[in-house]
Amino acid sequence: MSDTDISSAFCHYLYALAREQPRQNAVRPQHDGRRMLVIQNLDDADRVMRRNADNYLKNFRWFTQVAGNSRLTDDGEAWRFRQELSQPFLGKYDANRAFALSSLHGRHIARHLALKPEADVLDEALIHQGMLSIFTQMFLDVELASLPMAHGSASRLIELASAYAFVAPGQEGLGGDKAHIREILQLRKTIFTALQTLRSDTLARSPMLQAMLQAETVPGFDFAFEKELTMLFGAGTDTASYSIGWALHLLATYPEMQERLHTGLRQVYAKHGHDRQALQSAVAQHADLRSFVAELLRLYPPLPFITRLAQEGDQLSDMQVEPGDVVVVSLVGVNHKALERPDPWKPDLDAASREGFGMGTGTISSFVWGKRVCGGRSFALVELATVLSVLIVQLQAQVSRREPIVYEWVGQMRRKGGHLLKLAGRG
């Protein structure tokens, strides 16, 4: 079994564990002989992610060897340097501009999806292009089309890198299929060359881009803005894109929920469509939409697990952690609030509203928490809710054929073969 197959099978394992042994931690051997601790207990997960985070270092060497150091992969001083560099822009973004760009590209996505009524598999590449366009315009002030590379290049590089996700420490050197390695090297060259065009002195650089270029002059951190942007493209776009796909899957699978959301949001757009500020507030405060996003992220977190490497021994609720253990926090398993429901594996807007949106819900857990919380969480929630509001109003989703879901790990979790959906404009 290849490393990619092992990673994809692991997603299925996490769902089976969450269903069959809810809230229970598990220990399993890795194929390289190390112990893997799978954490579903929320209090234990909080110790790993927040209360004793310094004992549990990131385990992203598989990405570092392919695309270099970045905020995603680094720890310690190197991580703090990168975090302090990008967080002012990711955390203190212009909410009005975020809503405007998300609305604009949401309409573009809806319009083009509606042009393919006979298609029976969701065009996720189209969605990805729209979400990446939001990111490049929001934070770089550049049109995606101005970058001389295919819009899916960074995502493909991360997908290729994910084949090494379960490689043991000390074995990180690129190895395996020669065609796989050649594609990595060619893609990396293509992406870095394309991003170098943003260095042009004639370009009106965004504040974020200016800060990154300036950071290259600081000694001791091996900072290269092409590497950092490659990570941001993946982390800032793939998560949103795959979430949109899973959302359309849920809407098609549960048509009554889809119609409830459509009716409510259609009324919002009819009442406030002429006033962007009022519309922005109404979408942000829409109770059913907020519950839907929480359920979406609970059931299908785009990053279903976070891996850490234990540096020293530690005591969790039911197990002793040993130095060198691989500690996996299951973001599927720690979403524990819904487990009190009769059927926690179906979306329930009313139950989500009653339970709130704090710890143990997808709204929090899917973005990690503690000092390494996803820096773009607030922006991502605005972007996701806004684009979904447009798609729910303008499109009707139907299941084209029913087949079991097969998860595929590509640095994020997607559905192998794509979502089996038909989409039509509502007129």
**Distance spanning both ends of the chain, measured CA to CA:** 48
Domain count, the chain: 1
Least confident range of 56-60, 172-176, 187-191, 228-232? 172-176
Cβ proximity of 423 and 122 under 8 Å: yes
Q: What pairing do the DSSP bridges indicate for beta strands 421-425 and 395-399?
A: antiparallel
Query: How many whole angstroms separate alpha carbon 347 and alpha carbon 367?
Result: 19
How far apart are the C-alpha atoms of 10 and 1, rounded to whole Å? 12
pLDDT recorded at residue 392: 98
Query: Is residue 23 within 8 Å of 317, Cβ to Cβ?
Result: no
232 — alpha (psi -120 to 50), left (phi > 0) or beta? Answer: alpha
pLDDT tens-digit profile of 94-135?
999 999 999 999 999 999 999 988 899 999 999 999 999 999
Strand, helix or coil at 60?
A: coil
- Please state the rounded mean pLDDT for residues 237-264: 96
272 three-state secondary structure: helix
From the number of C-beta atoms within 10 Å of its C-beta (0-12, 13-18, 19+), residue 112 rates as middle
Token digits for 93? 């973004």
SS3 412: coil
User: Which residue reads 């509001």 in tokens?
Assistant: 389
Nearest Cα neighbor of 134 from 281, 232, 231, 203 is 232
Asked whether 138 and 130 are in contact (CB, 8 A), the reply is no
pLDDT for 287-337, tens place per residue?
Answer: 999 999 999 999 999 889 999 999 999 999 999 999 999 999 999 999 888
pLDDT at 247 over 90: yes
Taking a C-beta distance cutoff of 8 angstroms, is the pair 388, 293 a contact?
Answer: yes
The pLDDT assigned to 1 comes to: 43
Q: pTM of the entire structure?
A: 0.94
The predicted-structure confidence for 159-200, as pLDDT tens digits, reads as follows 998 887 776 555 545 556 889 889 999 999 999 999 999 988
Tokens at 373, concatenated: 């919380």
DSSP state at residue 402: -
Alpha carbons within 13 angstroms on the beta-carbon side of residue 34 total 20
- Stretch among 1-5, 108-112, 349-353, 408-412 having the lowest mean pLDDT: 1-5
Range of the domain at 255: 3-425
Q: Which one of 40-49, 56-65, 201-210, 365-374 scores highest in mean pLDDT?
A: 40-49
Cα→Cα distances 118→112, 113, 122, 400, Å: 13, 10, 11, 10
CATH code for position 95 = 1.10.630.10
Residue 374 assigned to a binding site: yes
Euclidean distance between CA atoms 129 and 109, whole angstroms: 9
Q: What is the residue type of 237?
A: T
